[in-house]
Amino acid sequence: MKLSKKALLTAVLFAAGTGVVQAACGITSGRVSIVGNEFPAIKSVAAKAAECAGGKVTVKANLTADHQKINVAGMQGNPAEYTSAIIANSSIIALMNEGLIRPLDDLVKQHGQSLSPSQLIKIDGKVMAVAFMANAQHLIYRKDILEKAGIPIPTTYEDMLAGAKVIRDKGLMQYPLSGAYKSGWNLAQEFINMYIGYDGDFYKPGTAEVSINNAKGVKTLETLKALTQYMNPDFLTHDSNAAAAEWEAGKVAMMNFWGSRTAVLQDDKGSTKEVYSNTLVSGPLTVGGGNTPATTLWWDGFTVAKNISDEDAVATFKALVNGVSPSLLNDKTMPEAVWMISGYKPAPVAAGVFATIKAGATPYPMRPYHGLLHTALGDNLSDYLQGKESAQQALSDIEAAYTAAAKEKGFLKR
Amino acid sequence: MLAMLLFIALPIASVITQSVFIPHEQVIVEVENCGPFGCEKSTAIDQEATNKLRQTQPLGRFAGADIYFDRAHLAINEVTEAWRESSGIVEFTGRLNNLPFYGALAFTLTYTAIVTPLSIGLGFLIALAVNALPRVIRGPTIFFSLLPMIITPLIGALILFWMVDARGVLGAGIQALFNDPDLSLKASTPLTWLMLVVYGIWSSAPFAFVVYYAGLQTVSQDSIEAAMLDGASRWERIRYVVIPHLLPLTTFMALIKIMDNFRVFEPIVSFNAGAHAQSLSYFIYSDLGGETRLLSSAAATSVLTICGVAVLLSPVIVRTWRNFGKRS
């Protein structure tokens, strides 16, 4: 008797509880399935969106560093496997090119009152994504090592190279620099950052023809090579996670690193006090005496798939709006990113991204064929960095690889 | 028969079809993109026009053999140019290696040529050794010999990847052994190739071991005793009795191993060795995945891989045909 009364009470409370959660998100039914990258900020957003689950609402999240390999294929089915992709300004292009995401203007009007206008990403006048954080690569440094070496905080890559030489000569560190230089997407990103710092143009104006085989391209390659001389020789296999591991092991003094991944380096897990308490952020670096910072600005945001039912689309939008609502911000999530959410108080770690925005950095190029150049760069830069070919040969290989891919995909005439 | 048609003939036909078609020309329009950092003029693909094109011609534009001959595959133009402009065979080979397909082919063929005989040989030696052990410890020894194959290839390679890192157990050990603090297996191309080949031998030897161990149980004791009576040493017994008996098994192993090794892929991914070693399968993977999705290019590389396997297997298949033809 007692047992069944308890069971009944539990069941009633559970049902009531579920009802309360549903009322908070305002979704009655629908399937929400998110795909995105796996750094801390996105994990927090997905976890907050998952709070809307219950009853007839299901929320799943597949967060992986390989999200760009699966999101296009995952959203092409009808119905799409993923109802939302959390993307950045570069990865939204692939979804746009294949027509996989739906305009959000109606959804924003009906359910997006808590969003601010600057969060809405408009392409050709239609809202295609809702941004919730800004990101950029900027300098991070070890305060204690720089002090011991007696060098100032670098503001240019030339300063960084000079400082690295001093640190090595003084015997403080053998490989004072690091970065995500893994052959492929990461290495290509470093090239793009540096080339922008040299004020280079990627394409002939008004066309999809690539034009990086010039003096600025050569200077970009030479600067990258000079930096790698001060890195762990395995740099071509080190992505952001490996570079972070190197940093936490206390082997690196300076690197150009993602703001969204820096909070991890400053917490007390995985490294000694000497390392994490001396890890500080600075602004972006310029190069070659230019004014444009050698970095790119990124926003991360969520999209809603096209090939899903309207019911799922509404559920997805509402769940993700909940995921980026002001209640997301607490002591743990505040330093994870530069949030574009009201109530965001910049933590010291966010100063790097803010400085990058203030310094007038350019957003990552959003052209539909830029992904092909990014891939061509990623595949062909490692030979030059290993000293196997000249800079001109590397640049001409990159241009040839891009041209072949662009011709195949129909961006250039055959 | 139906299964062969469904699972082999149809997919191959489908891949060949996809490799001769390429996507339509993109219709580009100027758009304005607005975001948190301001508005800028850019370009985007006109979805309506593209959809119309796709509905009228769903397969795409017919490209014939263009994809096969383009720079990412057989690179006919670049090869003829290199042939004309090179001053010698060394320079020609260097320029050929610079082309993605030929560079990948070089690694794939090297890997196949070295790993196949060595892993078969190593498996045979392990089988002989285990066969000579007393029964008591044979069981545990077999288990340990099989471990490299039981571990999921990706996990095994990942573990090795971290151990071989310049600051990992094996990497630091090798640096200490050769007294060279700059030595890093992951940083030099020849050493990476060596590491991948060693890993390939180590992880595929157990398969050869298992097959040969089973085969060794079928060696007739009469022949062995007759050889012992004739005064043959252990090595001579192996060479003149055991190995000829196991020849059909060796042919079978060579067939399987050549096919498997030509499709080498997992070690390159787990060791993050894409910068130093590419294989044909790795190219298919990079074309298929990611933002660019060059499907026609991946299809063409697949067809070329099938042709490559057929070419490599032709001697073994001819010999098998002859052997079985003789018996029947």
Could you report the per-residue pLDDT of A223-248, keeping only the tens digit for each?
A: 999 999 999 888 988 889 889 999 99
Closest residue in B to A122 (Cα) is B34
pLDDT, tens digit, 9 for 90 and up, residues B37-66: 888 888 888 888 888 888 888 888 888 888
Is residue A2 in some structural domain? no
> Are residues A175 and A204 both part of a single domain?
yes
Q: Do A233 and A368 fall within a single domain?
A: yes
Q: Say yes or no to pLDDT of A307 above 90.
A: yes
B144 at A interface, C-beta within 8 A: no
Looking at the partner chain, which of A69, A382, A409 has a beta carbon nearest the beta carbon of B26?
A409
Q: Which pairs with CB-CB distance under 8 Å and at least 24 residues apart come from B215-218?
A: B215/B127, B215/B245, B215/B246, B215/B249, B216/B127, B216/B128, B216/B131, B216/B242, B216/B246, B218/B245
pLDDT digits (tens, 9 = 90+) for A373-401: 999 999 899 989 988 899 999 999 999 99
Q: Please state whether B161 falls in left (phi above 0), alpha (psi between -120 and 50) or beta.
A: alpha
Question: In this complex, do B44 and A413 lie within 8 Å of one another by their Cβ atoms?
Answer: no
Residue B243 to residue B245: CA distance in whole angstroms: 5
- DSSP 3-state assignment of B22? strand
Do residue A183 and residue B36 have CB atoms under 8 angstroms apart?
A: no
Report the distance separating Cα A303 and Cα A56, nearest Å. 22
Q: What number is the average pLDDT over the span B118-124?
A: 94
Q: Is residue A214 part of a domain?
A: yes
A57 and A39 within one domain: yes
Percent of chain A scored above 90 by pLDDT?
57
Q: Which residues of A350-366 are buried (b: 16+ CB within 10 A; e: fewer)?
A: bbbbbbbbebebebbbb
CA-CA distance, B174 to B185, in Å (whole number)? 9
Residue of A nearest to B73 (CA): A404
Burial A291-323 (b: 16+ CB within 10 A, else e): ebbbbbbbbbbbbbbbbbeeebbbbbbbbbbbb
Is the same domain home to A250 and A342?
Answer: no
Please tell me the total count of domains within chain A.
2
Q: Are residues A261 and A159 part of one domain?
A: yes
Chain A residue numbers touching B184 (CB-CB < 8 A): 233-234
Residue A361 makes CB contacts below 8 A (sequence gap 6+) with A136, A284, A292, A293, A295, A296, A297
Q: Give the pLDDT of residue A4.
A: 59
Q: What is the CATH number of the domain that holds A340?
A: 3.40.190.10
Q: Is residue A8's pLDDT more than 70?
A: no
| Cα separation, A353 vs B172, whole angstroms | 37
Pairing of strands B21-22, A296-302: unpaired
pLDDT above 80 (res B185): no
**pLDDT of A403 strictly over 50:** yes
Residue positions counted in chain B? 328
- Domain shared by A170 and A231, yes or no: yes
| Cβ A388 vs Cβ A112: under 8 Å | no
To probe the interface with A, which of B95, B291, B295 has the most A CB atoms within 10 Å?
B291
Q: Decide if pLDDT at A198 tops 60.
A: yes
Residues of B in contact with A121 (CB under 8 A): 33-36
Per-residue confidence (pLDDT) for residue A21, from 0 to 100: 46
Tell me, yes or no, whether A380 lies in a domain: yes
Residue at B289: amino acid letter = G
A365 and A263 in a common domain: yes
What's the confidence (pLDDT) of residue A19?
46
Average pLDDT score over residue span B230-240: 85
- The residue extents of the domains of chain B are 99-327
Rounded to the nearest angstrom, the minimum Cα separation between B106 and chain A is: 16
Q: Exposed (0-12), middle (13-18) or buried (19+): which is A136, by Cβ within 10 Å?
A: buried
What mean pLDDT is reported for chain A?
Answer: 89
Put simply, whether B75 touches A (Cβ < 8 Å) is no
User: CB–CB of A405 and B35 under 8 A?
Assistant: no
Substitution target in B27, B183, B292 with the highest count of A β-carbons within 10 Å is B292
A393 CA: distance to closest CA in chain B (Å): 9
A-chain residues near B64 (CB < 8 A): none
Residue A149 lies in a domain: yes
Distance from CA of A287 to the nearest CA of B (A): 22
Which region holds residue B242: left if phi is over 0, alpha if psi is between -120 and 50, else beta? alpha
Q: How many CB atoms lie within 10 A of CB A205?
A: 7
- CA nearest A234 in B: which residue? B187
Residue B286 has pLDDT above 50, yes or no: yes
Residues of A in contact with B289 (CB under 8 A): 66, 69-70
Question: How many other C-beta atoms lie within 10 A of the C-beta of residue B184?
Answer: 22
Q: Is the pLDDT of residue A150 over 90?
A: yes
**Res A17: pLDDT:** 47
Residues B223 and B237: their CA atoms lie apart, in Å, by 9
Q: Are A246 and A230 in contact (CB under 8 A)?
A: no
B147 close to B205: Cβ distance less than 8 angstroms: no
Q: How far is CA B59 from CA A76, A97, B295, B296, in A?
A: 16, 17, 12, 11
Shared domain for A265 and A141, answered yes or no, is: yes
Is the pLDDT at A22 greater than 60, yes or no?
no
Say what the alpha-carbon torsion angle B57, B61, B62, B64 is, to the nearest 10 degrees. -160
In this structure, the answer to whether residues A69 and A171 fall within a common structural domain is no
Residue B33 DSSP class = E
pLDDT at residue A71 greater than cutoff 80: yes
**Cβ of residue B46 closer than 8 Å to a chain A Cβ:** no
Is residue A90 located within the same domain as residue A147? Answer: no
Could you tell me the pTM of the whole model? 0.82
Residue of B nearest to A134 (CA): B36
Burial A141-152 (b: 16+ CB within 10 A, else e): bbebbbeebebe
> Which among A183, A368, A411 is the nearest to B44, CB-wise?
A368
CATH of domain B99-327: 1.10.3720.10
More confident residue, A19 or A270: A270
Question: pLDDT tens for residues A336-355?
Answer: 888 988 888 888 888 899 89
Q: Are B149 and B203 in contact (CB under 8 A)?
A: yes
Q: Which one of A122, A234, A369 would you mutate to disrupt binding with B, by most B Cβ within 10 Å of its Cβ?
A: A234
Of A93, A340, A410, the CB nearest to B24: A410
User: The domain containing residue A204 runs over which residues?
Assistant: 136-297+354-409
Q: Give the integer Cα–Cα distance in Å for A62 and A365.
A: 27
Residue A1 lies in a domain: no
